[in-house]
Structure 1
Amino acid sequence: MLQINKTLLFIALLVFSTSCKTPSITSSTSNDSQPLPDSFVNSKDTVTIAHVKWELFYKDTDLKYLIETALKNNYDLQLAVQKVAIATNNVKLRKGELLPILNAGVSAGQRRFGLFTMDGAGNASTDILPGQVVPENLPDFFAGFNASWEADVWGKLRSNKKAAIARFSATIEGKNAIQTALIASVAGTYYELLALDNELDIIRETIDLQQDALDIIRVKKQAGVVNELAVKQFEGQVANSKGFEYEILQQIALTENQLHFLCGQFPKPIVRDKSKFAALDSSLLSAGIPSQLLKNRPDIRQAELEVAASKFDVKSAKAAFYPSFMITGSVGYQAFSTALWFQSPESLAYALLGNLTAPLLNRSAIKARFNTAKANQTEALLHYQKNILNGYVEVANELATLKNLEQLYAEKDKEVASYQQSTVIANNLFETGRATYLEVLMAQRTALDSKIQLIVTKKLQHQARINLYRALGGGWQ
C-alpha cells in the first residue's frame, strides 16, 4: 500500500509540474466579429434570391446546358471534390487514433549473448530443457498479438478529431464556393459572347450602310459634285469598320474558347440564340438582409468552420504540455524451437506495460507549436471577418450598379434613337446638297458608337445581375 501511495504521489507531482506553467487559451471566436448592418443600403427586401436554385434563376436553355456541362467536367470543381475525399479520409484517420492498435504477427530471430556478460554467464549454467543448457546461439520464434493504446485523458486526440471534422465540412463549403463562382463565370462569359454577336451584327449593318454611302459618293465624284478627298474619307471609314469587324470575330473566338475551358471540353461550335441577349429578367433580384449572408455564402461558412477547426487545434496543442498515458501489451506463443512453439502453457508469453511520459526538456518546441496554433486561430478569425465585410460590400456594389445601369440604359436607348434619326437626316440632306459628306461621316460614326455602348450597357446589366446572385450566395443549392 505504501508503494502504491508513493506511485500516486509521483504521478500527481509529475502532472502538477508539467501543467503549472501551461499557457492559457485566449477565447476568440467567430462571434467576436463586427456586427452586420440590419439591411443593405436602399434595399428593404427580407427574402433573398440566394435561395433560388440556379436552374430557376437562369432561364436560357442553352446557358443551362453549358452550366450542366461545366458542373460535370470543370477541373477546378473536380479538384474540390478530391479535397473533400481527402478530408473524409483524414476524419477517419483521426477517429482511428482514438481506438487501440491491435496487430497480429509472426517473428523469427536469433540472439547470442557474450559469455562474459550476466546474461551469457547465466545462460551457460541454466537448463532450458532437462539435461539441455541454453544454446549459445539462441533462436527465438514468436506468434501472437501486440496492442497499444493512448488514453486520451486531456482530449488531445478528441480535439484532433473535431478539427478534422470541421475541416471536412469546410472543404464541402469550399466546393460549394467554387461551384457558385463557376456558374457565375459560365453565365458571365455566355452573355459576353451574346453581346459580341450583337455587336458583330451592328457593325455589319453599319458596313452595308457605309458601302452604300461610298457608292453614292463615287457617283457624285464622277458627276463633279464632290472631289477625290470625299471618296477617300468614305473608303477609310469602310476599311475602319471592316477592321473592327475582324477584331470582334477575334474576341468571339477567344470568348468561345474560354467558355469551353470552363466547361472542361475542347473547342467546338457553341449553340446560342443571340436574340435572347436583349431580354433581362429583373423579377428575381431581392437581396434580403445582410445576416443571411452568413448562412448562404459558402466562402463565409468555410471561413467560420476554419475558425472552429483552429480552435480545436489550439486545444490539442495545449494538451501536449500534459503527460501522455500509453498502454502496450502482447500475448502469444514464444519458443526457441518450432517443435515447442505452440506447446501450452510452457510457450505461452504475454507482456503488459503502462507508460506515463511528460515533457520536460522539450517544452520550448511544444510551446512554439502552441503559439503557432493560436496565431493560426487569429488568422482564421481575421479571414472570417474579412469575408463577411467583403460579402456585404460585393452585394452593396451590385445593388448600386443595377440601379444606376437601369437609368443609364434608358438614357443610352434614347441616345441611340436620336443618333439613328440624325443619320437618316444627314443622308437625306447630303443627297439634296444641304449637308457635307463630313457631316454624314460623323453621323454614321456617332450612331455606331452609341449602338455599341447600348449593347455594352446591356451586357453590364446581365453581369451585375449574375454577380448579385453570386454575391448573395446563390448557385450551390
Structure 2
Amino acid sequence: MGKDYQRPSLDMPSNFTAPAAGTSPSSNTASFASNPAAGTADAAVVEYADSNSIADIPWRQFFPDTALVHLLETGLQYNNDLLIASRRLDIAEAQLKRAKWAQTPDLQLSVTGAINRPSDNSLNGLSAKSFLGKSYIENYNAMVGISWEADIWGKISRQQEAVRASYFATAEGRKAVQTRLIADIAEGYFNLLMLDAQLTITKKNLVLNEDFLQASRLLKTAGIVTELAVQQAVARRDATALLVPSLEQQVGLQENALSVLTGKLPGRINRTGKLRDEVFPELSTGLPASMVQRRPDVQAAEFQLAAANAKVGVARAAFYPALNITAGVGLETFTASNWFNIPASLFGLAAGSLTQPLLQRKTVVTNYTVAQLERETAVLEFRQSVLKAVGEVQDALVRTTKLKEQERFAQSQADTLRVAETNARQLFKSDMATYLEVLIAQENALQAELYLAIVQRSRLTAVVELYRALGGGWN
C-alpha cells in the first residue's frame, strides 16, 4: 500500500566553481583600469570537473600532523556528543531488530487451573451436584496458541520499511556528528598553532623593541635624541609586551576548549608542528551529485524522507480491514487426574477475523493527511539540506582560493616590512633615520607578521571546512 520511495528532483550544478586566482597585484590593477567591469560580473571562474574528491581520503591520511591525528583519535573515542550519537544508533538498531519480527506469528503457551463454587440455588450449582456429585466445579487447561496478522495491505512491511529508514538516518546522523567533530578539533588545533606563531613573533619583536630602546638611551646620552624618543621607545616596548600575556591567555583558553572537545579535562595540548609547515593534499571536489551520496547530513535527510514515505503507506493501509488468524491446541479437563488423558482431553480451535474501523474513520483520515504533510515537509528538508551542502562547498572553495592569494601577498608584505624594520634600526643608529620612522617600521612589521599567521590559519581552516562540506571525515 502506498508508493515506493523515489528521490525527488534536485536542482544541482553540473560542477563546483570558484573565482580564479589572480596573478599579481600589478596585473590585477592594470586589468581593472582597462576594464572596471572585469572585477565584478566578468571575473574569471574555475570549474572543478574532476570526479575524484578529497572527501574520499580517510581522515588519518588527510591530516599529516601526527599530534593532530592523536587528538582526533582521542576525540572520536571520548567525545560525549559522539558517544551519545552512538547510543542513539544502538537504540535504533534494537528497534530495527524488533521490527523484523513484526510479520512472524505470535506463539503463546498458557496453563490455567480454576475452581468455582457456585451457589446451591444457581443453575450451575444444581448441575454440579446432579452431574458431578459435588458442590464445586474444577477446570484445568494447557494450551499452545498462535496468532498472526496477515499483511494483505502491506501495512506491516511499510512499518518495517519506516523503521529501517529511520535506522539508516540515525547511522548517517552519527557520521555527521563525527565529521563536525573532526573539523572542530582540526580548526581548534590550527588556531592553537596560530597563537603559538603569534606568541613567538611577539617575543622576537619584544627583543627588537628592547634593542631599539637601549640604542635610544645611548643616543640620548650622546645628545643626539631627546627624552621624548626614549619615552616613545619605552611605550613601543610595553605595547608589544602587553600582547604576550594576552596571547598566552588565548593559548590557555584554546587548549581548554580542545581538551573538552576530546572528552578530557582541561589541560595542556601537545603539538609538534608549526603553522607554516601544515600541508594538505591537492584539492579536488568531485561532482556535486557524488557529494549528495557522501554528505552524512544529506543522506540522513533522505532516509528521513524515505521513512516519511513509508509511513504514508502505513496510514493508507489503515483504511482497509485487518485480517487476524488465531489457532490453538491443548488439553482440558474438569478433573486433575484426567488432565493428561490423551486423546480424550485434547481440544483445538481456529478462527479468523476481519476488523474494519468505523467510528474512528475520521481519526484514520486525519492520520493519513498528517502523514502526507510530513512527507511533503521531509521533501523540503531534503532539498534544503542539498542546497545548504552545495552552498557550503562553494563558500569553502571561494575561501580556499582567495585565502591562498591573501597568504602570498601577506607573506610578501611581511618580508618587505621586516627588511624595512631592520634597515630603519640601522639607519637610526647612524643618525640617518628618526625614531618615529623606526617605531612605525617596527609596528608595521609586527602587525604584518601577526596578520600573516591569521591568514595562514584561515586558509588551513578553509581547507578543513571544504573537506567536511564535501562529506569527508567519517571514513
Q: TM-score band, normalised by the shorter chain? A: 0.7 to 0.9
Is contact 2:96–2:167 with CA below 8 Å preserved after alignment?
yes
| Structure 2 residue corresponding to 1:54, chosen from 54, 59, 65 | 59
SS of the residue aligned with 2:411?
Answer: helix
Give the alignment of 1:78-477 within 5 angstroms: 78-111=83-116, 120-121=122-123, 123-127=124-128, 130-132=131-133, 135=136, 138-275=137-274, 277-281=275-279, 283-477=281-475
Q: For residues 255 and 337 of structure 1, do their structure 2 counterparts lie closer, same or farther at Cα, with a shift above 3 Å needed?
A: farther
* 2:2/2:310 contact within 8 Å kept: no
Larger mean CA deviation between 41-50 and 331-340 belongs to 331-340
- How far apart in 2 are the matches of 1:84 and 1:315? 25
String of CA shifts for 1:138-193, please: whole Å, max 9, x gaps: 45443332332111111111100111111222222222222222222222111111
* Aligned-partner residue type, residue 384 of structure 1: F
Distance 1:114 1:379 in 2: 65
Deviations 1:350-398, CA, capped at 9 Å, x for gaps: 4333221111111121222212211221121111111111111111111
Give the counterpart letter for 1:39 in structure 2. N
Corresponding residue for 2:35?
none
**Separation in structure 2 between the aligned mates of residue 139 and residue 130 of structure 1, nearest angstrom:** 13
Query: Structure 2: where are the runs of 5+ without partners?
Result: 18-45
CA 1:125–1:192 in structure 2 vs 1: closer, same or farther (change >3 Å)?
same
- Residues 337-362 of structure 1: per-residue CA shift (max 9 Å, x gap): 53443334454444333221111111
Q: In the TM superposition, what is the alpha-carbon distance from 1:231 to its structure 2 partner?
A: 3.1
Partner residue in 1 for 2:75: 70
Contact 1:29 1:307 in 2 (8 A): no
- Aligned equivalent of 1:13: none
Residue 285 of structure 1: how far off its partner (Å): 0.6
Give 3-state SS (helix, strand or coil) of 2:112's partner.
Answer: strand
2:433 match: secondary structure = coil
Maintained 8 Å contact 2:118/2:135: no
1:31 is aligned to 2:12: no
Mark the CA change 1:290 to 1:128 in structure 2 (over 3 Å): closer, same or farther.
farther
Q: What is the alpha-carbon root mean square deviation over aligned residues?
A: 2.4
Rounded Cα–Cα distance in structure 2 between residues aligned with 1:162 and 1:207: 67
For residue 46 of structure 1, what is the amino acid of its counterpart?
A: S
Instruction: Give me the identity figure in percent.
Output: 33
Aligned to 1:30, the other structure's residue is in SS state: coil
TM-score, length-scaled by structure 1:
0.87
**TM-superposition CA deviations, 1:18-52 (whole Å, max 9, x none):** xxxxxx96898423332x11111222323212222
Separation of aligned partners in 1, 2:58 and 2:252: 30
Which secondary structure does the structure 2 equivalent of 1:406 belong to? Answer: helix
- Structure 1 window deviating more from structure 2 (230-239 vs 466-475): it is 230-239
> What SS does the corresponding residue of 1:32 show, helix, strand or coil?
coil
Q: Cα deviation per residue 1:171-228 (whole Å; 9 max; x = unaligned)?
A: 2222222222222222211111111111110011011111222222333344444444
2:62–2:280: 8 Å Cα contact kept in structure 1? no
Stretch deviating more after TM superposition (231-240 or 107-116): 107-116
- Residues 94 and 438 (structure 1 numbering): CA distance in 2 closer, same or farther, change over 3 Å? same
State the shift of 1:417 in Å: 1.5
Is there any run of 5+ residues in structure 1 with no aligned partner, and where? 1-23
User: Do the aligned residues in 1 keep the contact of 2:114 with 2:139 (CA within 8 Å)?
Assistant: yes
Q: Match of 1:327, SS?
A: strand
Which SS does the other structure have where 2:329 is aligned? strand
Q: For the structure 1 residues 282 and 127, does the alpha-carbon distance in structure 2 shift closer, same or farther, using more than 3 Å as the test?
A: closer
Q: Distance in 1 between matches of 2:15 and 2:132?
A: 96
Instruction: Work out the number of aligned pairs and report it.
Output: 446
